[in-house]
Structure 1
Amino acid sequence: MFIFGAFAIDLQPVIISPLIEDSITEKIEKPISTSYIDQLGGVDSTSVVDLPLRLLRVFSTEDYPVISGDQYLLTYYENGKIVSYPITVPYNKVINLGVFGSIDASALNYLELKAKVEKQVLGTYQYSNPQFLITSTGVFPISVKGEVVKATQVDAWGLTRLSDVAYLALDNASTRKVVVKKADGTETSYDLYAALMEGDASQNPYLTAKDTVIFQPKTKQVEIYGEVARAGAYQIEDKEDLVAAITRYAKGFAPTANRTNVAITRNSISGIENLQINANSRAIYALSDGDKIFVKANEVEYPSISLEGALIPSKTDTNYIQGAYTSKYFYKFAPEETLIEMLETVSSLFSSYSDLKEATLIRNGEEMKLNLEDILYKNAELRLMRLEAGDKIYIPFSQMLVTVNGAVNKAGAFGYVPGRTLSYYLNQAGGLANNAKGMDKIKVYDKFGSQIASSEIIPSEAIIEVERDTFATNIAPIVTVVGLVGSIVSIALNVAYLITAATK
């Protein structure tokens, strides 16, 4: 399927490549997700991972905090034997090491605890080669409420971050203000967008036992489309205006952007407003919650090629010849578009009259033969040839024709059918016109220009000339003039008679 433009070059129909249409409409029509998770780039849908993966993450990080329920294994040599001592971290995080004493691990991470334990064992048994390894991690509940389906508790572990529970938030929750309330009642607000999309790790803390996560309602969200680096839905800060929002969140204008014509659709109390903003001006343009911003592209003039010859005409084509088709089209193509991409678009213009094997490409004044049939159906090498502005492709007629001219109702070129006589082609041409002299005045010429008898079988490429009755055509205006003169003379005589009668 192809698209006709609402304009023409030299009054010829124009076909717009679907590749151009796709590039234009994609940025306009491509849906933008407004979901909470997608605004944060997508996050895991669980707060606790499987134990083997948890252990791998503990071993690969420097700051795993010791939590209640962690399980460790202490091994060391005593009197030539290996001693294994399992340890579970109690609620108060004071670890009992038996003969080696105890350690308060409430403010320690795993590596710090490991170093302390092994040091205390060495203090008692100097050559005991102690090893202190974690074998399982503790799990604790945290509360989640606010803009969620319902207040709930979820399991967490030592490396659960705030973003790990973001999957519970509704789409109307704020990504910019998520409150974590500690067991002692202190509250801290965090910006998950800054954490996940801008890399600010301070805004994505580890959660601890008895934490409560409170998702606040969003305050200002806009959608940015069109000629920007990253289209999407974004929750912006109150102080950020149009240019700041495009710069920070959509990562700036694309090179093709028309900065002087930025469209904003806004829902206001009075109804929907459609605004046009010049983003190049120094004015600060404040945004409202729900604004849809579309950055338009600079108008691009795409190059074109011409297609001519045995093509099915458009409805407005003035080059239509009854029985066969000789048409011309212009085709606007996209950058890097190939010959096969163009041919697949216009293939519906080809008919049984189109000789695809004998097409000709004219480029920069030089002719090149093209077998379009092989290119379309046999994966020919030239199928990947790039189109160039000004290319001309001519498709000749494949079927032999017989031409009927003169005093017929529908003169034109008609498909040759072997064995047919004169009457067949006259019928194809709609029969003799009223001004035809008659069957005996019809002349038939073969393709070499030699006249042949009209009673013979009509050969291919023949031309049939039906002579017009020029006398009947020319006498009509003479008769009209004579009649007009007669009427004038008659009127003059009547007037003279009336004058004479009045004087008597």
Structure 2
Amino acid sequence: MKFNISLKIIILWFLMAVSSFAQVDETEFEGQQDARIREQAAEYSRSRDIGAQDRIIDPERYIVGPGDELTIFFYGGYTRENRIIITPEGSALIPEFGEINLGQVTLKEAKQKILDALGRRYRNVEISVTLSKLRKLKVSVDGEVNLPGIYTVTSMDRISEAIQLAGGLTEDGSERNIRVIRNGQVMLADLLSFARGGDNDANPYLLEGDKVFVPPRRTKVGLVEIYGAVQLPGEYEYVSGETINDLIMLAGGITLDANLNSASLVRFDEAGDSSITLNIPLEAILEDPGNPGNMLLMPDDRIFIRSIPDYHRKAQVTIEGEVLYPGVYAVKEDTTTLTEVIAWAGGFTEEASLAEARMFRSGYEAIRDTELDRQIKLSVDQLSEIEREYLLLKSDPQQGRVSIDFVELFSNGARGLDVRLKDKDSIIIPKTSLSVRIMGRVLKPGLLTYKSGADVKYYLNQAGGLTKSADKGKIRIIKGASGAILKPSSRVQIEVGDEILVPEKKDVNWWEVTKDVGLFLANLATLYIVIDQILE
């Protein structure tokens, strides 16, 4: 009993220790990740130029505030320069004059107020006012950002820069529905529209007391989608007030092959349990976004823009190796022939080996072979002889090889063997190797010098002979011109570029053979007894 209690305590202690270590590892990982984010945010803060601006300040839009520095120049009969900083109460204290209220006014209005006030006092003196230094201000950034908090920015910083100071958006942060609370009013920022379309109003400048809140991004419902002939198809967050044209522009615009007469919008009905399809006058909308067909989008709308079939379809083939001008050639699919392309490439060089020339056709490797998938999952013992042979052939890396006899076609003029080309065909013309490759269970496998009229036995001797594990009955010749696998015979002539394969002899499992023979004899004996009883 005491032993069982002790064992339980030990197991419980072990489980608690494992759990503690896992929690420590997880906490340590999260701490490292948080430290990286903080370092990135700090680096951004150090590297950014506080005085840098993305445009010239517009006096009619810029709102002056506490901390802005204005410089007043007096020249003419009276020369002087005054630098004044707007107080926290929004006033400008001008020496020898007094206070001027500049709260919540534009730069243009602030300049005019100062000029009007000083002009009444200083006669025959020219006065000019300029904004000489931007104020700093504090804003809060909260929600789905990595480092929420209060940050110091300038009056020419945008919302995106405050978010960057806060470590950027989290994985779940919304890019398009960021809320900015300003003087009790809520406005929206759309950083994706700013980044892709340059919409400055979607990423406004910050003001004192702004509160930036990043909500979670919608992931399943409440989205809008656009597919087909646009630059950036996919799902996008829904933004109230957005139109069909707005979403198309957000998706990078249409592609060149867009069918302007074939676009549709799929929308759920009011009940939300079925959808309706509406035709979109795409051409009219793109020409005039004010067109009535440029409808406001609703959550979960989907836009489909079809492509023009075979638009600017390009067909080309590649020729490598021993032709005068190897490279890529444009062809007319199913019309241009192999002989025509070889002629365009200047014909063969003197070192070209037609016997070893090959042509491959792409596309077959992309077709899924379910039978091959099934066989790959099985062990070798579960495959029949036919299935093993099928698996071997289907695993051949030259599956896309086109059967062409280059010698007959080009040397003997057999034009009936000419082939019409397809897009992405690849033609390879190697140098004459004057060699035969021997592989497998021989003492010295590799390339051997070709000898006209020599048979398999000659090349086996040149390779040092067979090893003890060689299977003499399974020796095969692989033709270089066609890839055909042939059994050696007097009718099969070995040519330049051919390969000789000497496979390994399979080990005989005598125990399995004995069991099979015993089982056969037992069945035979049983059958004999049954027949004998019947005959009696």
TM-score normalised per structure 1 = 0.43
The structure with the larger Rg is 1
Higher helix share: 2
More strand by share: 1
Scaled by the length of structure 2, the TM-score of the pair is: 0.41
Structure scoring higher RCO (CA < 8 A, sep ≥ 6) equals 1
